[in-house]
Structure 1
Amino acid sequence: MAQDTVQPLPAPATPARALLPLILPALVVGVAASLLLLGVESAAEELQDVLWRNLPDALGVGRYSVLWMLVVLTATGVAVGLVVWKVPGHAGPDPATSGLDAPVLPLAVLPGLLLATALMLAGGPSLGPENPIIAVNVGLAFWLGRRLLPRAPGGLWVALAEAATIGALFGTPVAAALLLSEALAGRQLKGALWDNVFAPLVAAAAGSLTTTLVAHPTFDLHLPAFGRPGWGDLLASLVIASVAALLGMAAVRAFPYVHGAFARLGHPMVALPVGGLVLGLLGALGGHLTLFKGLDEVGEIAADPDGWSAGQFATMTVVKLAALLVAASCGFRGGRIFPAVFVGAALGLCAHALVPAVHPAVGVASGVLGVLLAITRQGWVSLFTAAVLVASPAIIALLCMASLPAWLLVTGRPQMQLRDDGTPVR
């Protein structure tokens, strides 16, 4: 006689009266996190216009000439190096040791970190704003929350700020929900899952709506319409995602060695200017589209999938990945998601240029998926980001299948994040 299976009891639900008081703090954190992100990006864009448009035009120098790229990127390294060296808090810990789960930094560190981030975004290094902005929002939310509502647990403010910033970055709370579910997987939760993510989702929704209403962002690349997937599309997605994952893992493997080489230079006023010079040389090799965080540049190459040859797309892919590796290693403050999106998109368009039967939407989404899995090791966020670039529900099934071999290639291997002693996190 078969033994009856004993089902575990569900976690007790949290009473609504315990969740309702969290709504207002979550809304405030969400709006504030979005406005801080938008403020930093707006200031960086103004400075970028000065550095890459007004100044070269006034001097009669080509905006993206080799000389000007070398000058601006090296000068950016000097400016950020001065912040890291002289500003109180030294712009936070080594960015190679930080990920999306930001530590709570002292309040005195945050102004320098914001300044270093804005200078980086304007100057052209291949990093995004996500890691430092999350860290700043976490620090501010924790500091203010502990003073205004001292009875609330400190972890609440960290979760609200992280979710709010991710919602603001992607313009939707879905990315934050997926990241939260991945972070909570395997934890012994008190209460149901939705009770635990209730307040962070409110913060993420407030952050994303604020960004949407103020800045009107979009991730849709407006690629040629993708209809019903076929067997050829499935094969293409499996191959491209796997190749992209291997390419990303090559950068991950090199990360501790490149970081160690810059660390041996011994001082931020040496490492960062040298890093800026190397980035200028890479920009000269790959062209101006391989500069900056990469989101606007992805839109430019996706607007004309047949506008570059396979060799040009391959060059942009390799150069952008090398630029991401150098920028993340030499001390520039920034995140790795948005440059990785450019790498994956350029690789996917290279596949389309080599084999025209590969649909551009399949190539781009699969390439982004594979690179993000290797660089971030965040499965849900990688799937989500790849899917939102292509406005077609049919792509999701292909991406789910393509993620399986790509994940097997990256799981259990080093991540693109280091411990304090320089060894990679696994």
Structure 2
Amino acid sequence: MAQDTEQQAPAAPATPARVLLPLILPALVVGVGASLIFVGVSAAAEELQDVLWRNLPDALGVGRYSVLWMLVMLTATGVAVGLVVWKVPGHAGPDPATTGLDAPVLPPAVLPGLVLATGLMLAGGPSLGPENPIIAVNVGLAFWLGSRVLPRAPGRLWPMLAEAATIGALFGTPVAAALVISEALAGKQLKGALWDNVFAPLVAAAAGALTTTLVAHPTFDLHLPVPGRPGWGDLLAALVIASLAALLGMAAVYAFPYVHGAFARLRHPMLVLPAGGLVLGLLAALGGQLTLFKGLDEIGELASDPEGWSAGQFATMTVVKLAALLVAASCGFRGGRIFPAVFVGTAFGLGAHALVPAVHPSVGVAAGVLGMLLAITRQGWVSLFTAAVLVASPVILALLCIASLPAWLLVTGRPQMQLRKDGSPVV
């Protein structure tokens, strides 16, 4: 017995409190700063959105969401973002099809163009969210400023703090950041206990989340009716809907390199992005105004009246929004894929409820979002967390944990919705 004990690998030594305490202040500063940048960019984009989609069409006597105006605005957004990518120093960062939530450290000169391209995209209507570019901006700023203020701090500290802070700010809770960090650290050789490694990022995420909550008052709860005691029918519905949503999402993932390659053949950003904007305008004409923008406000409108659309209408919005996400992510618009994927999953789940009324709308929405996010993001914890907070029910969480298993088997080990620099998919 003593020999077996001697052969066991020694446990990683715990990090002393004196090492962790000095990280609190930098983490708080990064957390607050990352949140304010996110809130500031989002608020500016919303103001511009009001001008472009309300004040300007009213002044011109054109319908705010008429087919003509949607075509004009989305094409014009492609032209505006194309000009930024073409002319602004840094070209608004790397091709967004090659980046994910784990952002590279970009030079400071690139960041203004990336912020401008992101704000124009959010206001103009393409189906992408702010998460990827805002994380990249915060990572770049935190690394640049932090390495000058505290040059002795390890360089990897600043990207980790900025990513955690921005994810906390985006979701309004540090829980999402904790889950993402834990997933990222899985399989790595850690120096110290897990909680020692996530201590500073959690401080940053909590500061970012609290700042966003105090300033912007975000909420993800769709206020759908809470299901009662779950039955076998609810379990079956969750399993089937999550798996079907994952399969639908994988169809977009497999199409991603081909759509990206088709736009890449146009070569110049002043051809690629306006062409993408025109395609998005045509899709919006087919799917309606709810299929525009990042989708977070629009899912609230869907959830406020689950009986207000037919199964066919929900199916149309599901397919159109997924196609719009695919096109926007392929043609060079700077943005993330989580929020529009949430809309796709929500419409899919409500469509299942409209088709089979026995499917509880909360079960349908949560399972649809779970399956879609697993396919699009390949982030298990983020998918489970996002699906759960939309409904905020312990009953739903238990069903989602089971429904995630077959859905994960459908997506794991397969191509991701992210490309290498040579255009091949990341696996």
TM-score class, shorter: over 0.9
Partners of 1:152 and 1:230 lie apart in 2 by 53
Residues 28-74 of structure 1 deviation map (CA, whole Å, 9 limit, x = unaligned): 00000000000000000000000000011111110000000000000
Aligned partners of 1:295, 1:56: CA distance in 2, in Å? Answer: 23
Distance 2:118 2:11 in 1: 44
Question: What are structure 2's unaligned runs of at least 5 residues?
Answer: none
**For 2:156, what is the secondary structure of its paired residue?**
helix
Q: Does the alignment pair 1:271 with 2:272? A: yes
Could you give the per-residue CA deviations for residues 291-345 of structure 1, whole angstroms, max 9, x where no partner exists? Answer: 0000000010011000000000000000000000000000000000000000000
Hey, what does 2:261 align to over in structure 1? 260
* Whole-angstrom distance in 2 between the partners of 1:367 and 1:89: 38
| Match of residue 400 from structure 1 | 401
Deviation of 1:21 after TM superposition, in Å, equals: 0.3
Alignment of 1:32-111 (within 5 A): 32-111=33-112
User: In structure 2, how many angstroms separate the alpha carbons of the residues matched to 1:404 and 1:11?
Assistant: 31
- 2:164: which partner in 1? 163
Amino acid at match of 1:278: V
Q: Identity of counterpart residues, as a percentage?
A: 88
- 1:338-353 counterparts in 2 under 5 A? 338-353=339-354
Partner Cα distance (2:104, 2:392) in 1: 35
Structure 2 residue matching 1:121: 3-state secondary structure: helix
Superposed CA RMSD in Å reads 1.0
Pairs within 5 Å for 1:154-193 = 154-193=155-194
Query: What's the counterpart of residue 303 of structure 1?
Result: 304
Deviations 1:117-144 (CA, angstroms, capped at 9, x unpaired) = 0000000000000000000000000000
Measure, in 2, the Cα distance between the counterparts of 1:234 and 1:136.
Answer: 41
Whichever residue aligns with residue 129 of structure 2, its letter is G
CA shift digits 1:212-245 (9 cap, x unpaired):
0001100000001222111000000000000000
Residues 285-300 of structure 1: pairs in structure 2 closer than 5 A: 285-300=286-301
Residue matched to 1:367: 368
**Number of aligned residue pairs:** 425
1:255-290 alpha-carbon deviations (Å, 9 max, x no partner):
000000000001000000000000000000000000
Q: State the one-letter code of the partner of 2:42.
A: E
Q: Partner residue of 2:247?
A: 246
Look up the match of 1:118. 119
Residue-by-residue CA offset, 1:106-125 (whole Å, 9 max, x unaligned):
00000000000000000000
Alignment correspondent of 1:230:
231
Q: What is the deviation of 1:9?
A: 3.1
Distance 2:287 2:102 in 1: 32
Q: CA deviation at 1:360?
A: 0.3
Q: Which moved more, 1:280-289 or 1:221-230?
A: 221-230
Alpha-carbon separation, structure 1, partners of 2:195 and 2:171? 21
Matched with 2:329 is 328
- 1:178 partner letter: L
5+ residue gaps in structure 1? none
AA at the equivalent of 2:327: V
Normalising by structure 1, what TM-score?
0.99
* Corresponding residue for residue 424 of structure 1: 425
Instruction: Please give the per-residue CA displacement for 1:133-184, whole angstroms capped at 9, x wherever unaligned.
Output: 0000000000000000000011000000000000000000000000000000
- 1:128 & 1:95 partners in 2: Cα distance? 12
- Residue 105 of structure 1 aligns to a residue whose secondary structure is coil
Distance 2:248 2:79 in 1: 31
Q: CA deviation at 1:11?
A: 1.4
Q: Distance in 2 between matches of 1:335 and 1:383?
A: 18
Q: Give the counterpart letter for 1:281 in structure 2.
A: L
Match of residue 144 from structure 2: 143
1:124-139 equivalence runs, <5 A:
124-139=125-140
* AA of the residue aligned to 2:199: F
TM-superposed deviation, 1:375: 0.3
TM-score (ref. length: structure 2) = 0.99
What residue identity is the alignment partner of 1:70? L
